[in-house]
């Protein structure tokens, strides 16, 4: 089936027309920073001097342009010696220019407003909220410098306040300094952004009130015969793999062969010390990195890394293959992050984490860690930068476990995502419920750790944590992002997941042991590697079955999203309070639960794709047509693109704005459930649930592309599925 399906739909989208129609957007009179909205209808309080006394010192200014910003405008700016640095909505850039030539900016016709890049714009809002803070408190800060600046510009202030520089790489500096130094740092020309350097944590979730209770759950599934095979009562759901609909993928020979996955976590089993390694991974490990502070190897002294790696590619050797991971013939490069004292050692610039393993051949990278965040921070920005520069690297990130119902309305509250899960160019994974009624932890949400406080209202309180695969785990962090983007992207099973156990003598038992080789765990930590495994198989399809030599991360993300199962209205849909209040996309499930059949092997649906690595220019429209022959199948159209990294100081992370629309006759469908174009997300989808038997036209337009690639273009991927010819 897979050969027939893809042979008939290879070169699946026909380019009908390319038009160069420039859409004129509203000329907004605001520039949107996190700490301030600048009204550009008002002239800046500081006038620019035109005297010859101006120095050759480089200064940083905010320049708003008439929209759209054309290539000609950019050339005019460069002619006066200015550099366009970070984009800020609406239609503005932070610009570096010699102070002597700064007055020339106002002479450019397309320039609407010029003002200083003020110190208050450089500060994370979290640093400005607590006026009563202890000024002598020593804080760990990430300081983002403009490109080309060096950490030397910080040294006098850091030393003045008895601080130190502990990380210095490219344009990211991590400093330990007293809080009272923050204002002085923000006044340094060349500093772009300052935020607190928060400590990332693992995103498994401990569910029990009593830590000891968490460690003594069922050693094996209940059985009258203690000598019986411990695996005989397995139902197939325990690993979470069964809910991903992998039967057709496996029948087609997809097991991850030839693919290399990176896992940055607590390590793997015994770290191959003296040739020792769990039988579940003996043939899979290509390489290991020891990154933990004072760690002696990439062994896993905690157990989390072994569990997540098992879900991706464990071969199930101890269980006769019953407890194998999703892509069990793929290879892994392990990055052991856990230090001697239990902390995770993650560099402030995530290129330090991802680029070395990219050089090793890793193209799928799974990350089950993060930290609480209330904005698009340095971790998120640096992740986006890595994918922008390496567009075939698929990075998956756990959404977080901060889901709570504190307002007691029976629905999990919005806006609890962490970082780097708020990044644009990763696949952010939330947790749905697994279906396990024996083994693991059999609790209701209200009786878990802090359950009455977090989930004490019905219908959540009395719900078992893994009894309905159409439900979302109560702990799973919800979107949207602070700037309104839809996250998570997808969900996968994340409660009572059975996977590999580290044999390290210090390893923990997480949600409880099954036997000496496997244990239970839960969290968005567990949902993420399952999704990484599916992403690995999808990449294998494009390369091995369709002959693609290069597969963008955007195409793999679009494929997963297009085929995901909408879980609306969730497990509580029968009640007056719905667990998931709207159809996909929404802040609980994103675009739905991963389903590889829906993405690649649907019997009644054709699946078409375009990996437009050439992209579109600003004002350019690419047009595609499909004909619906079977109206009983929904028509799904999904656009995904890796966007240029946003400015951490900007209120909106989106930089390049592509618009997608679907039309049929006089009917026009806008993406993401909106009634107008979406100018917030770099994922856009249209679901036509009952399409007409007719011709549909899909248009992808470069609405605003201020920071395209070297050719000024924004690449993208498009996936279309349905009862189409």
Mean pLDDT across 565-580: 90
Per-residue tokens: 51: 């005297």
Residue 265: Cβ-neighbour burial (10 angstroms; 0-12, 13-18, 19+): buried
Give 657-710 pLDDT, tens digit per residue: 999 999 999 999 999 999 999 999 999 999 999 999 999 999 999 999 999 999
Residue 149: Cβ-neighbour burial (10 angstroms; 0-12, 13-18, 19+): buried
Higher pLDDT, 235 or 207: 235
- Judge whether residue 460 has pLDDT over 80: yes
How does residue 482 score in pLDDT terms, banded at 50, 70 and 90?
A: very high
Q: Note whether 550 and 613 are within 8 A (CB).
A: yes
Q: Note whether 424 and 455 are within 8 A (CB).
A: no
Q: Is 563 helix (H, G, I), strand (E, B) or coil?
A: helix
- Judge whether residue 26 has pLDDT over 70: no
How does residue 358 score in pLDDT terms, banded at 50, 70 and 90?
A: very high
> Would you state the pLDDT for residue 15?
33
- Judge whether residue 93 has pLDDT over 70: yes
> Would you state the pLDDT for residue 13?
36
Give 611-670 pLDDT, tens digit per residue: 999 999 999 999 999 999 999 999 999 999 999 999 999 999 999 999 999 999 999 999
Mean pLDDT across 422-437: 98
- Judge whether residue 404 has pLDDT over 90: yes
Residue 8: Cβ-neighbour burial (10 angstroms; 0-12, 13-18, 19+): exposed
> Would you state the pLDDT for residue 225?
57
> Would you state the pLDDT for residue 27?
52
Rounded CA separation 654/640 (Å):
13
> Would you state the pLDDT for residue 185?
98
How does residue 426 score in pLDDT terms, banded at 50, 70 and 90?
A: very high
Strand order in the sheet with 512-513: 497-500, 518-521, 512-513
Rounded CA separation 507/341 (Å):
14
- Judge whether residue 51 has pLDDT over 50: no
Report the candidate in 14, 21, 16 with the shortest Cα–Cα distance to residue 659: 21
User: Domains of the chain (ranges plus CATH)?
Assistant: 2-24+603-724 (2.60.120.380), 37-117 (3.30.70.80), 126-196 (3.30.70.80), 201-237+255-447+464-557 (3.40.50.200)
- Judge whether residue 330 has pLDDT over 50: yes
- Judge whether residue 364 has pLDDT over 90: yes
Stated pTM of the model: 0.94
Mean pLDDT across 189-210: 88
> Would you state the pLDDT for residue 44?
75
b/e sequence 655-679, b meaning 16+ C-beta within 10 Å? bbbbbbbbebeeeebbbbeeeebbb
Residue 271 φ/ψ region, left for φ over 0, alpha for ψ in the -120 to 50 degree band, beta for the rest: left
Higher pLDDT, 366 or 604: 366
- Judge whether residue 45 has pLDDT over 80: no
DSSP 258: T
Handedness of CA 39, 40, 44, 45 (dihedral sign): negative
Mean pLDDT across 464-471: 97
> Would you state the pLDDT for residue 226?
60
> Would you state the pLDDT for residue 229?
81
Give 260-281 pLDDT, tens digit per residue: 999 999 999 999 766 789 999 9
Rounded CA separation 84/87 (Å):
8
Share of the chain above pLDDT 90, in %: 85
């Amino acid at each position: 089936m897979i050969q027939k399906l893809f042979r008939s739909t290879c070169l699946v989208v026909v380019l009908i027309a390319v038009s160069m129609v420039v859409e004129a957007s509203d000329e907004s009179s605001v520039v949107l920073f996190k700490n301030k909205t600048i009204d550009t209808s008002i002239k800046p309080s500081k006038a620019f001097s035109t005297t010859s006394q101006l120095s050759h010192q480089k200064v940083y200014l905010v320049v708003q342009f008439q929209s759209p910003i054309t290539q000609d405008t950019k050339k005019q700016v460069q002619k006066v010696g200015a550099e366009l640095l970070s984009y800020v909505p609406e239609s503005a850039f932070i610009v570096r220019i010699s102070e002597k030539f700064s007055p020339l900016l106002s002479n450019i016709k397309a320039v609407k407003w010029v003002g200083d890049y003020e110190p208050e714009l450089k500060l994370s809002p979290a640093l400005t909220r607590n006026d009563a803070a202890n000024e002598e408190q020593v804080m760990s800060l990430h300081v983002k410098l403009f490109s080309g600046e060096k950490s030397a510009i910080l040294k006098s202030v850091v030393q003045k306040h008895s601080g130190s520089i502990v990380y210095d790489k490219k344009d990211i500096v991590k400093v330990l300094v007293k809080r009272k130094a923050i204002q002085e740092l923000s006044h340094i020309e060349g500093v772009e952004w300052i935020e607190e350097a928060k400590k990332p944590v693992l995103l498994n979730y401990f569910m029990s009130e009593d830590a000891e209770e968490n460690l003594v759950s069922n050693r094996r599934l209940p059985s009258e015969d203690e000598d019986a095979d411990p695996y005989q009562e397995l139902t197939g759901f325990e690993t979470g793999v069964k809910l991903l609909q992998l039967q057709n993928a496996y029948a087609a020979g997809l097991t991850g062969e030839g693919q290399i996955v990176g896992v940055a976590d607590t390590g793997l089993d015994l770290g191959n010390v003296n040739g020792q390694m769990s039988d579940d991974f003996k043939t899979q490990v290509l390489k290991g990195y020891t990154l933990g502070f004072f760690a002696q190897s990439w062994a896993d002294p905690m157990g989390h890394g072994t569990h997540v790696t098992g879900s991706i590619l464990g071969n199930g050797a101890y269980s006769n293959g019953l407890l194998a991971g999703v892509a069990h013939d793929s290879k892994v490069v392990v990055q052991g992050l856990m230090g001697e004292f239990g902390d995770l050692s993650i560099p402030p610039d995530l290129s330090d984490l991802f680029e070395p393993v990219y050089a090793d051949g890793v193209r799928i990278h799974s990350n089950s860690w993060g930290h609480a965040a209330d904005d698009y921070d340095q971790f998120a920005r640096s992740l986006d930068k890595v994918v922008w520069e390496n567009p075939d690297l698929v990075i998956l990130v756990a959404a977080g476990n901060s889901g709570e119902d504190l307002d007691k309305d029976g629905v999990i509250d919005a806006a609890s995502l962490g970082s780097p899960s708020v990044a644009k160019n990763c696949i952010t994974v939330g947790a749905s419920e697994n279906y396990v009624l024996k083994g693991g932890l059999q609790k209701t949400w209200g009786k878990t750790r802090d359950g009455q406080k977090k989930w004490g209202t019905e219908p959540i309180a009395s719900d078992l944590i893994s009894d309905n695969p159409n439900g979302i785990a109560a702990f799973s962090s919800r979107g949207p992002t602070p700037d309104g983007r839809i996250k998570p992207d997808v969900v996968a099973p994340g409660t009572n997941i059975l996977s590999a156990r580290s044999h390290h003598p210090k390893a923990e038992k997480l949600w409880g042991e099954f036997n000496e080789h496997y244990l239970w765990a839960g969290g968005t930590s567990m949902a993420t590697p399952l999704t990484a495994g599916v992403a690995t198989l999808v990449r294998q399809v494009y390369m091995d079955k369709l002959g693609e030599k290069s597969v963008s991360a955007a195409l793999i993300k679009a494929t997963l999203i297009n085929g995901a199962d909408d879980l609306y209205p969730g497990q509580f849909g029968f009640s007056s309070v719905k667990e998931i209040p709207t159809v996909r996309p929404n802040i609980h499930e994103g675009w739905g639960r991963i389903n590889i059949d829906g993405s690649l092997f649907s019997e009644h649906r054709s699946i078409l794709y375009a990996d437009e690595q050439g992209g579109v220019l600003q004002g350019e429209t690419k047009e595609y047509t499909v004909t619906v022959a079977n109206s009983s199948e929904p028509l799904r159209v999904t656009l995904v693109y890796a966007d240029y990294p946003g400015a951490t100081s900007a209120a909106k992370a989106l930089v390049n704005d592509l618009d997608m629309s679907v039309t049929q006759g006089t009917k026009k469908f806008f993406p993401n459930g909106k009634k107008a174009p979406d100018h917030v997300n770099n994922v856009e989808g249209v679901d036509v649930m009952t399409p007409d038997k007719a011709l549909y036209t899909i248009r992808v337009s470069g609405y605003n592309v201020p920071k395209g690639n070297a050719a000024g273009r924004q690449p993208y991927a498009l996936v279309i599925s349905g009862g189409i010819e």
